[in-house]
Chains A and B, each alone.
Chain A
Amino acid sequence: MYKYIFYFSLFIYIFSLVWGVLFTQEDFVQGNSFRIIYLHVPASFLSQSIYAAMAISSVIYLIWRVKLSAYLILAMAPIGALVTFLALFSGSVWGIPTWGTWWQWDARITSTLILFIMYLGLISLHNSFSNHEKADKLLSWLVIVGFVNIPIIKKSVDWWSTLHQSASITLTDKPTIDPSMLYPLIGSIIGFFGIVICLIIISSKVQIFKREKTKSWIKDYV
């Protein structure tokens, strides 16, 4: 079933990418280099959403001890790390022609780097435990503590002076991006979201197999 969602999302993403890169006009300041927005914004958006989903899973695991939500945290962490890396990388590539630098320690960039390190830390922490249940509990607590970083990333461009510009799409105001560029951007976010959800489903399947491998239902299934 999720295979169809995957192909559909992939289609939406590639369609939006082609639309945005080949069939929109260039930006009045940045010229063609703004087009990396169709990778950078979806990746940045998902890097924070995945962490939020991990935090929700952690709360569910800690209160109701649902095993599946513990597996989900582990399934999402590597994908979150990958997506955050994509956000940082595409931001660097975008920064060279526009800002004139690929890395600066401004609040937005630094807090996103912290998010990336947090993902890596959570993965390696879980790997260092031989007792899985203990590791799940500790991981869930850490995910909840680390959630503080998400609003900081979100608001960093408003709270401090940064090199990074503030948000173009907000819940309260009219987008400051022209509709001809906005529609493919929304499409690329939706497509990327679908792709990531399917990757999480595949990754959580792996986690279930790994953790339940001694159970008889797995033996029947495989």
Chain B
Amino acid sequence: MNPTRKKRIYSILFVFLFSVSGISLILYSLNSNLDFFFTPTELKNNNIPPEKRIKIGGMVLEGSVERNGSEISFVITDYENSIKVIFDGIVPDLFQEGSGVVALGFLNNKIFYAKEVLAKHDENYMPPNIDIKNDS
């Protein structure tokens, strides 16, 4: 290969590696700030001031949903730690016990007061009447 082209290849590689390492450093330093929500375990380990608006996410604990008028309370869990959530409003259709949920609100006295509740679904798609054989 002729030397000019060789030089160009090296400069492309250099620019690319330079931008990769630059972006990696930025992403590395942002770290968990890029997370969409806190899990209940992260919430326990981090000291988050009350009245600060945060998002928490996890699973809705089976049997924890209680409705009282328009108010709904449930427990978000990551199966290690859990936190009680109180929400006054309409939850999405996909909200159900044992499925994923993200709540936006603030923490006060170990109770999370949600302003907004979003449903999170997983990457499994299947017809409703299928036998689940090799699922754990």
Chain A positions near chain B (C-beta within 8 angstroms): 24-30, 34, 37, 59, 62-64, 97-101, 104-107, 141, 144-145, 147-148, 152, 159-163, 165-168, 176-178, 180-181
Residues of A within 8 A of B19 (CB): 144-145, 148
A64–B8 alpha-carbon span in the complex (Å): 9
A144–B12 alpha-carbon span in the complex (Å): 8
CB atoms of B124 and A177 under 8 A apart: yes
Report the count of interface residues on B (CB-CB < 8 A). 39
Residues of A within 8 A of B130 (CB): 28, 178
Residues of A within 8 A of B124 (CB): 29, 168, 176-177
Minimal Cβ-Cβ distance residue in B for A30: B121
A169–B117 alpha-carbon span in the complex (Å): 28
A181–B99 alpha-carbon span in the complex (Å): 22
CB atoms of B16 and A101 under 8 A apart: no
Smallest Cβ distance from B27 to chain A, in angstroms? 7
CB atoms of A144 and B16 under 8 A apart: yes
CB atoms of A163 and B99 under 8 A apart: no
CB atoms of A181 and B37 under 8 A apart: no
Pull 19 A–B residue pairs with CB atoms less than 8 Å apart, ordered by A. A25-B128, A27-B126, A27-B128, A29-B94, A97-B92, A98-B93, A98-B119, A99-B94, A99-B119, A100-B91, A100-B118, A107-B35, A107-B36, A152-B27, A161-B39, A162-B36, A165-B122, A165-B123, A168-B124
Smallest Cβ distance from B118 to chain A, in angstroms? 5
Residues of B within 8 A of A24 (CB): 127
B23 interface residue, CB < 8 Å from A?
A: yes
